[in-house]
Amino acid sequence: MGSLNVNLCGIELSNPIIPASGTFGFGYEFAELYDINKLGTFSFKGTTRDPRFGNPTPRIAECYSGMINAVGLQNPGVDKVISEELPKLKACFNKPVMANVSGFSIEDYAYTCEKLDKEEQVGWLEVNVSCPNVHGGGMSFGTQPEAAAEVTKAVKAVTTKPVIIKLSPNVTDIVSIAKACEEAGADGISLINTLLGMRINLRTRQPVIANKMGGFSGPAIFPVAVRMVYQVANAVNIPVIGMGGVSTAEDVIEMMLAGATAVEVGAANLVNPYACRDIIRDLPEVMEKYGINNLKDIIGGVK
Protein backbone atom coordinates (compact mmCIF):
# COMPACT_ATOMS: atom_id res chain seq x y z
CA MET A 1 0.00 0.00 0.00
CA GLY A 2 1.21 3.52 -0.81
CA SER A 3 2.17 6.03 1.88
CA LEU A 4 -0.61 8.34 3.06
CA ASN A 5 1.62 10.33 5.45
CA VAL A 6 1.98 14.09 5.08
CA ASN A 7 3.73 16.72 7.20
CA LEU A 8 1.70 19.78 8.20
CA CYS A 9 3.77 22.63 9.64
CA GLY A 10 6.25 20.22 11.21
CA ILE A 11 3.72 17.73 12.57
CA GLU A 12 3.44 14.35 10.85
CA LEU A 13 -0.06 13.15 9.94
CA SER A 14 -0.90 9.52 9.19
CA ASN A 15 -3.07 10.79 6.31
CA PRO A 16 -4.14 14.20 4.96
CA ILE A 17 -7.84 13.97 5.92
CA ILE A 18 -9.10 16.61 8.37
CA PRO A 19 -12.81 17.11 9.17
CA ALA A 20 -13.49 20.84 8.89
CA SER A 21 -14.50 23.06 11.77
CA GLY A 22 -18.22 23.31 12.37
CA THR A 23 -18.95 19.91 10.84
CA PHE A 24 -17.36 17.62 13.45
CA GLY A 25 -18.19 19.24 16.78
CA PHE A 26 -15.49 18.49 19.36
CA GLY A 27 -14.96 14.99 17.96
CA TYR A 28 -16.32 12.82 20.75
CA GLU A 29 -19.79 12.69 19.16
CA PHE A 30 -18.28 11.02 16.07
CA ALA A 31 -16.15 8.75 18.26
CA GLU A 32 -19.38 6.93 19.13
CA LEU A 33 -19.64 5.93 15.44
CA TYR A 34 -16.04 4.98 14.57
CA ASP A 35 -12.45 5.28 15.79
CA ILE A 36 -11.64 8.90 15.02
CA ASN A 37 -7.93 8.18 15.50
CA LYS A 38 -8.07 7.03 11.86
CA LEU A 39 -8.17 10.73 10.92
CA GLY A 40 -5.06 12.78 10.20
CA THR A 41 -6.51 15.22 12.72
CA PHE A 42 -9.64 17.39 12.85
CA SER A 43 -10.48 21.05 13.30
CA PHE A 44 -12.82 21.49 16.22
CA LYS A 45 -15.84 23.76 16.43
CA GLY A 46 -15.09 27.45 15.98
CA THR A 47 -14.27 28.91 19.38
CA THR A 48 -14.64 32.51 20.52
CA ARG A 49 -13.55 34.41 23.63
CA ASP A 50 -17.07 34.47 25.08
CA PRO A 51 -19.97 32.00 24.75
CA ARG A 52 -22.22 32.49 21.72
CA PHE A 53 -25.76 31.27 21.23
CA GLY A 54 -25.51 31.81 17.48
CA ASN A 55 -28.00 33.15 14.97
CA PRO A 56 -31.80 32.78 15.09
CA THR A 57 -33.36 29.69 13.51
CA PRO A 58 -33.90 28.45 10.87
CA ARG A 59 -30.20 28.58 10.13
CA ILE A 60 -29.51 25.59 7.87
CA ALA A 61 -31.16 24.80 4.52
CA GLU A 62 -30.43 22.32 1.75
CA CYS A 63 -29.70 23.55 -1.79
CA TYR A 64 -28.85 21.94 -5.11
CA SER A 65 -25.50 20.18 -4.60
CA GLY A 66 -24.94 21.79 -1.24
CA MET A 67 -26.36 23.70 1.70
CA ILE A 68 -26.63 27.20 3.17
CA ASN A 69 -25.88 27.72 6.85
CA ALA A 70 -25.79 30.70 9.17
CA VAL A 71 -25.21 29.01 12.53
CA GLY A 72 -23.30 32.05 13.75
CA LEU A 73 -20.40 30.48 15.67
CA GLN A 74 -22.48 28.89 18.41
CA ASN A 75 -19.99 27.68 21.05
CA PRO A 76 -19.53 27.66 24.85
CA GLY A 77 -16.56 30.08 24.85
CA VAL A 78 -12.87 29.32 25.22
CA ASP A 79 -12.86 28.73 28.99
CA LYS A 80 -15.49 26.00 28.78
CA VAL A 81 -13.87 24.51 25.69
CA ILE A 82 -10.70 24.10 27.75
CA SER A 83 -12.36 22.91 30.96
CA GLU A 84 -15.13 20.70 29.53
CA GLU A 85 -14.73 19.89 25.81
CA LEU A 86 -11.01 19.09 25.61
CA PRO A 87 -11.07 16.58 28.51
CA LYS A 88 -13.92 14.70 26.79
CA LEU A 89 -11.95 14.71 23.55
CA LYS A 90 -8.79 13.43 25.25
CA ALA A 91 -10.66 10.26 26.23
CA CYS A 92 -11.21 9.28 22.58
CA PHE A 93 -8.55 11.06 20.48
CA ASN A 94 -4.81 10.57 21.02
CA LYS A 95 -3.44 12.88 18.30
CA PRO A 96 -2.85 16.64 18.24
CA VAL A 97 -6.07 18.48 17.37
CA MET A 98 -6.53 21.68 15.36
CA ALA A 99 -8.15 24.53 17.33
CA ASN A 100 -10.35 26.77 15.19
CA VAL A 101 -10.61 30.33 16.53
CA SER A 102 -12.87 33.25 15.59
CA GLY A 103 -13.10 36.76 16.97
CA PHE A 104 -14.78 40.15 16.78
CA SER A 105 -11.61 42.18 17.38
CA ILE A 106 -7.87 41.63 17.08
CA GLU A 107 -7.74 41.46 20.87
CA ASP A 108 -10.36 38.67 20.84
CA TYR A 109 -8.28 36.58 18.44
CA ALA A 110 -5.09 37.06 20.44
CA TYR A 111 -6.77 36.30 23.78
CA THR A 112 -8.42 33.07 22.60
CA CYS A 113 -5.37 31.83 20.69
CA GLU A 114 -3.04 32.51 23.63
CA LYS A 115 -5.25 30.40 25.91
CA LEU A 116 -5.58 27.49 23.46
CA ASP A 117 -1.87 27.58 22.60
CA LYS A 118 -1.12 26.45 26.16
CA GLU A 119 -3.22 23.29 25.81
CA GLU A 120 -1.15 20.14 25.27
CA GLN A 121 -3.78 18.61 22.97
CA VAL A 122 -3.70 21.53 20.54
CA GLY A 123 -1.27 21.03 17.66
CA TRP A 124 -2.25 23.92 15.38
CA LEU A 125 -4.30 27.11 15.65
CA GLU A 126 -6.60 27.63 12.66
CA VAL A 127 -7.53 31.31 12.77
CA ASN A 128 -10.80 31.94 10.98
CA VAL A 129 -10.85 35.39 9.36
CA SER A 130 -13.48 34.20 6.91
CA CYS A 131 -16.82 33.46 8.59
CA PRO A 132 -19.64 35.04 6.54
CA ASN A 133 -22.36 34.32 9.10
CA VAL A 134 -21.68 36.82 11.89
CA HIS A 135 -22.01 40.59 12.02
CA GLY A 136 -19.01 42.73 12.93
CA GLY A 137 -16.40 39.97 12.95
CA GLY A 138 -15.02 36.97 11.12
CA MET A 139 -15.01 37.75 7.41
CA SER A 140 -14.50 41.50 7.96
CA PHE A 141 -10.87 40.68 8.90
CA GLY A 142 -10.31 38.43 5.91
CA THR A 143 -11.30 40.65 3.00
CA GLN A 144 -8.34 43.06 3.16
CA PRO A 145 -4.65 42.07 3.20
CA GLU A 146 -3.83 44.63 5.90
CA ALA A 147 -6.52 43.44 8.31
CA ALA A 148 -5.67 39.76 7.82
CA ALA A 149 -1.99 40.57 8.42
CA GLU A 150 -2.84 42.45 11.64
CA VAL A 151 -4.69 39.44 13.04
CA THR A 152 -1.81 37.16 12.03
CA LYS A 153 0.81 39.33 13.74
CA ALA A 154 -1.25 39.65 16.92
CA VAL A 155 -1.78 35.89 17.18
CA LYS A 156 1.84 35.02 16.37
CA ALA A 157 3.03 37.41 19.10
CA VAL A 158 1.31 35.37 21.84
CA THR A 159 1.60 31.79 20.55
CA THR A 160 4.25 29.13 19.99
CA LYS A 161 2.34 26.60 17.88
CA PRO A 162 1.76 26.71 14.11
CA VAL A 163 -0.78 29.35 13.08
CA ILE A 164 -2.89 28.60 10.01
CA ILE A 165 -5.03 31.45 8.66
CA LYS A 166 -8.38 30.40 7.18
CA LEU A 167 -9.33 32.60 4.23
CA SER A 168 -12.62 33.63 2.66
CA PRO A 169 -13.41 33.07 -1.03
CA ASN A 170 -15.67 36.16 -0.95
CA VAL A 171 -12.90 38.44 -2.20
CA THR A 172 -11.57 39.64 -5.54
CA ASP A 173 -7.88 38.82 -4.91
CA ILE A 174 -7.28 35.94 -2.51
CA VAL A 175 -3.59 35.71 -3.43
CA SER A 176 -2.75 39.16 -2.06
CA ILE A 177 -4.43 38.28 1.25
CA ALA A 178 -2.61 34.94 1.51
CA LYS A 179 0.75 36.62 0.79
CA ALA A 180 0.06 39.31 3.41
CA CYS A 181 -0.61 36.58 6.00
CA GLU A 182 2.60 34.77 5.05
CA GLU A 183 4.63 37.99 5.37
CA ALA A 184 3.02 38.60 8.78
CA GLY A 185 4.30 35.23 10.01
CA ALA A 186 1.55 32.70 9.24
CA ASP A 187 2.77 29.10 9.23
CA GLY A 188 0.04 27.92 6.85
CA ILE A 189 -3.09 28.93 4.95
CA SER A 190 -6.41 27.08 4.81
CA LEU A 191 -9.05 27.77 2.16
CA ILE A 192 -11.76 28.07 1.14
CA ASN A 193 -14.44 28.84 3.66
CA THR A 194 -18.03 29.01 2.42
CA LEU A 195 -19.25 31.25 -0.38
CA LEU A 196 -21.89 33.79 0.60
CA GLY A 197 -25.26 32.57 -0.70
CA MET A 198 -29.00 33.06 -0.42
CA ARG A 199 -32.21 31.20 -1.30
CA ILE A 200 -35.85 32.37 -1.18
CA ASN A 201 -38.91 30.25 -0.33
CA LEU A 202 -41.43 30.87 -3.11
CA ARG A 203 -44.44 30.15 -0.91
CA THR A 204 -43.52 32.51 1.94
CA ARG A 205 -41.51 34.89 -0.29
CA GLN A 206 -38.93 35.03 2.49
CA PRO A 207 -35.30 33.87 2.68
CA VAL A 208 -35.00 30.21 3.69
CA ILE A 209 -32.81 31.10 6.70
CA ALA A 210 -33.46 33.77 9.31
CA ASN A 211 -30.10 35.48 8.66
CA LYS A 212 -31.23 36.02 5.01
CA MET A 213 -27.75 35.13 3.71
CA GLY A 214 -25.36 32.40 4.79
CA GLY A 215 -22.39 30.26 3.87
CA PHE A 216 -22.93 28.08 0.79
CA SER A 217 -20.98 24.81 0.90
CA GLY A 218 -21.03 21.35 -0.65
CA PRO A 219 -19.94 19.76 -3.95
CA ALA A 220 -21.10 22.74 -6.03
CA ILE A 221 -18.23 24.91 -4.74
CA PHE A 222 -15.45 22.36 -5.38
CA PRO A 223 -14.20 23.85 -8.70
CA VAL A 224 -13.93 27.30 -7.08
CA ALA A 225 -11.99 25.79 -4.18
CA VAL A 226 -9.56 23.93 -6.45
CA ARG A 227 -8.91 27.11 -8.41
CA MET A 228 -8.19 29.18 -5.29
CA VAL A 229 -6.01 26.49 -3.69
CA TYR A 230 -3.99 26.34 -6.90
CA GLN A 231 -3.57 30.13 -7.02
CA VAL A 232 -2.52 30.46 -3.38
CA ALA A 233 -0.26 27.39 -3.31
CA ASN A 234 1.67 28.80 -6.27
CA ALA A 235 2.05 32.19 -4.60
CA VAL A 236 3.20 31.29 -1.06
CA ASN A 237 5.97 29.16 0.44
CA ILE A 238 3.98 27.82 3.40
CA PRO A 239 1.66 24.79 3.48
CA VAL A 240 -1.89 25.12 2.18
CA ILE A 241 -4.87 23.14 3.47
CA GLY A 242 -7.51 22.76 0.77
CA MET A 243 -11.23 22.49 1.41
CA GLY A 244 -14.55 23.26 -0.22
CA GLY A 245 -16.92 20.61 -1.52
CA VAL A 246 -14.56 17.67 -0.94
CA SER A 247 -16.51 14.42 -0.67
CA THR A 248 -14.44 11.61 -2.25
CA ALA A 249 -10.90 10.24 -2.30
CA GLU A 250 -10.63 11.46 -5.90
CA ASP A 251 -11.42 14.99 -4.71
CA VAL A 252 -8.59 14.72 -2.18
CA ILE A 253 -6.10 13.74 -4.91
CA GLU A 254 -7.28 16.67 -7.05
CA MET A 255 -6.87 19.13 -4.17
CA MET A 256 -3.37 17.87 -3.48
CA LEU A 257 -2.38 18.13 -7.14
CA ALA A 258 -3.58 21.75 -6.96
CA GLY A 259 -1.16 22.32 -4.09
CA ALA A 260 -2.82 21.25 -0.85
CA THR A 261 -0.64 19.53 1.75
CA ALA A 262 -3.74 18.36 3.65
CA VAL A 263 -7.45 18.41 2.86
CA GLU A 264 -10.42 19.34 5.04
CA VAL A 265 -13.83 17.75 4.56
CA GLY A 266 -16.82 19.82 5.65
CA ALA A 267 -20.42 19.52 4.46
CA ALA A 268 -19.94 15.85 3.51
CA ASN A 269 -19.81 15.01 7.24
CA LEU A 270 -23.32 16.39 7.66
CA VAL A 271 -24.63 14.22 4.83
CA ASN A 272 -22.75 11.07 5.86
CA PRO A 273 -21.13 10.96 9.32
CA TYR A 274 -18.77 8.25 8.02
CA ALA A 275 -17.55 10.41 5.10
CA CYS A 276 -13.99 10.95 6.37
CA ARG A 277 -13.59 7.33 7.45
CA ASP A 278 -14.71 6.21 3.98
CA ILE A 279 -12.39 8.62 2.18
CA ILE A 280 -9.39 7.33 4.17
CA ARG A 281 -10.46 3.74 3.42
CA ASP A 282 -10.73 4.51 -0.31
CA LEU A 283 -7.49 6.48 -0.71
CA PRO A 284 -5.11 3.50 -1.19
CA GLU A 285 -7.24 2.08 -4.01
CA VAL A 286 -7.50 5.46 -5.74
CA MET A 287 -3.75 6.00 -5.35
CA GLU A 288 -3.10 2.62 -6.98
CA LYS A 289 -5.50 3.47 -9.81
CA TYR A 290 -3.54 6.62 -10.66
CA GLY A 291 -0.06 5.21 -10.01
CA ILE A 292 0.60 7.18 -6.82
CA ASN A 293 2.99 5.57 -4.30
CA ASN A 294 3.39 8.49 -1.89
CA LEU A 295 0.90 11.32 -1.38
CA LYS A 296 3.72 13.75 -0.53
CA ASP A 297 4.98 13.35 -4.10
CA ILE A 298 1.83 14.78 -5.71
CA ILE A 299 1.48 17.98 -3.64
CA GLY A 300 1.45 20.83 -6.15
CA GLY A 301 1.82 18.41 -9.05
CA VAL A 302 0.03 20.81 -11.42
CA LYS A 303 2.15 23.82 -12.37
pLDDT number for residue 138? 46
Give the residue extent of every domain in the chain: 6-298
| pLDDT tens per residue across span 97-154 | 999 999 988 999 999 999 999 999 999 999 999 754 444 444 567 788 999 999 999 9
Q: In whole angstroms, what is the distance from residue 150 CA to residue 75 CA?
A: 25
Identity of residue 268: A
Q: What's the confidence (pLDDT) of residue 131?
A: 58
Active site residues: 131
Q: What is the pLDDT at residue 134? A: 45
Q: For the chain, which residues score pLDDT lower than 50?
A: 132-138
Three-state DSSP class for residue 115: helix
Cα 96 to Cα 42: distance, rounded to the nearest angstrom: 9
d(C-alpha 57, C-alpha 194), whole Å: 19
Q: Using CA atoms, how far apart are residues 67 and 44, in angstroms rounded to an integer?
A: 20
Q: Which residues contact 18 (CB under 8 A, 6 or more apart)?
A: 39, 40, 41, 42, 43, 98, 241, 262, 263, 264, 265
Pick the CATH number of 6-298 from 3.30.9.10, 3.20.20.70, 3.40.50.720, 3.40.718.10: 3.20.20.70
Give the global pTM.
0.95
The reported pLDDT for the residue numbered 90 is 96
